[in-house]
């Protein structure tokens, strides 16, 4: 497996992510269709009949893989990748001064000779970026303020990413306030469903 850590332009990264999501969904569908067939064929080759207990046990395992494991694994990886791209485009960490990419925050700071950096603001990543965007808007006149709906989606992505990375994507591993947020978001009509 090759891993490319070179800088890539934002539009190409987004194009890549869109195609990755499409391929991911196609792959989930393919595996959901083909995995049961493959396992049943392997069992037949080994001489098992449809009424054998091993076949029944394998069918239950197949259903769990097809309905839960494949979609969860594939889609969770996309959430993590999407957040990584967003975060790297917004802000380059101070801990990597030699980085060759210019994230939005760093570019605006240099271009406008601003005294404050996003790291000078308190709070978690999203709170700091909100405060910094407000500051940049006031200093430069460039409106970086996003609508509440866009910030809500960014926060959702952030919470989902953290639930996957720090909680293994398992509701029981999450703090009560995070569980409650995810449950509330899961009730809202939209393009995703949270299963717990």
53-89 per-position pLDDT tens digit? 777 777 788 888 888 888 888 889 999 988 888 887 7
Considering only CA atoms, which of 103, 131, 137 is closest in space to residue 7? 103
- Confidence tier at 169 by pLDDT (50, 70, 90): confident
Please say if the pLDDT value at position 113 is more than 70: yes
Please say if the pLDDT value at position 141 is more than 70: yes
Q: Say what the pLDDT of residue 92 is.
A: 64
- Confidence tier at 23 by pLDDT (50, 70, 90): very high
Helix 148-167 vs helix 125-140: angle between axes, to the nearest 10 degrees? 150
Please say if the pLDDT value at position 104 is more than 90: no
- Confidence tier at 1 by pLDDT (50, 70, 90): very low
> How many other C-beta atoms can be found within 10 angstroms of the C-beta atom of residue 30?
11
Biggest alpha carbon distance in the chain? 75
Please say if the pLDDT value at position 26 is more than 90: yes
Q: Say what the pLDDT of residue 56 is.
A: 76
- Contact of 129 with 105, CB cutoff 8 Å: yes
Kindly state the average pLDDT of the residues 39-59: 80
d(CA 62, CA 34): 11
- Confidence tier at 132 by pLDDT (50, 70, 90): confident
Burial (CB < 10 A; 0-12, 13-18, 19+), residue 114, is middle
């Amino acid at each position: 497996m090759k891993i490319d850590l070179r800088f890539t332009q934002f539009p190409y990264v987004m194009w890549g992510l869109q195609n990755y999501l499409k391929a991911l969904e196609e792959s989930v569908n393919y595996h959901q269709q083909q995995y049961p067939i493959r396992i049943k064929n392997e069992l037949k080759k080994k001489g098992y009949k449809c009424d054998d207990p091993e076949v029944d046990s394998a069918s239950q395992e197949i259903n769990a893989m097809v309905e839960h494991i494949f979609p969860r694994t594939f889609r969770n990886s996309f959430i993590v990748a999407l957040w990584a791209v967003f975060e790297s485009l917004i802000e380059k960490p101070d801990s990597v001064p030699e980085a060759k990419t210019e994230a939005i925050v760093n570019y605006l700071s240099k271009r406008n000779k601003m005294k404050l950096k996003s790291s000078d603001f308190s709070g978690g990543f999203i709170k700091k970026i909100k405060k910094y965007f407000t500051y940049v808007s006031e200093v430069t006149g460039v409106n970086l303020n996003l609508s509440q709906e866009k910030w809500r989606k960014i926060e959702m992505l952030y919470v989902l990413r953290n639930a996957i990375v720090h909680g293994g994507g398992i509701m029981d591993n999450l703090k009560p306030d995070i569980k409650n947020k995810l449950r509330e978001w899961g009730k809202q009509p939209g393009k995703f469903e949270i299963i717990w």
